[in-house]
Amino acid sequence: DAGVTQSPTHLIKTRGQQVTLRCSPKSGHDTVSWYQQALGQGPQFIFQYYEEEERQRGNFPDRFSGHQFPNYSSELNVNALLLGDSALYLCASSLGGSETQYFGPGTRLLVL
């Protein structure tokens, strides 16, 4: 049973650059949520994708955008990177409207 996968595992960028993070949900799941986790904090909800549309968005600026593909995989794009965007980016998958979410290993982004 394939779990949630994310790529890349680590990424270093400089301020102003753009980044794309990728996620494949757990086998059988159709919903992908993205979270940002700063050091020492709980995850913060960025947005959720279901049926290739953004279903809900958290309190993040428009620099953060996403996409879901027909195979349910998803991308998170961040434009005009800021130092404060350095964090662990987590992808979580679930089935339909289920509240139970399973996390991938995360992508650690460092912005210099």
Q: Give the single-character DSSP code of 84.
A: G
Instruction: Scan for tokens 């996390």, then name that residue.
Output: 103
- In whole angstroms, how close is the CB of 111 to another protein at the nearest point? 18
Q: Tell which positions 31-50 bind another protein, by CB under 8 A.
A: 33, 40-45, 48
For 71, the token pair is: 């195979």
Of the residues 58, 65, 67, 86, which one makes contact with another protein according to CB under 8 A: 58
Size of the site for another protein (CB under 8 A): 22
Q: Is 97 in the site for another protein (CB under 8 A)?
A: yes
d(CA 4, CA 6): 7
d(CA 81, CA 71): 28
Q: Is 23 in the site for another protein (CB under 8 A)?
A: no
- In whole angstroms, how close is the CB of 10 to another protein at the nearest point? 11
Given a contact cutoff of 8 angstroms between Cβ atoms, the answer to whether 101 and 48 are in contact is no
Strand partners, 75: 22, 67
Binding stretches for another protein (CB under 8 A): 33, 40-45, 48, 55-56, 58, 88, 90, 97, 99-106
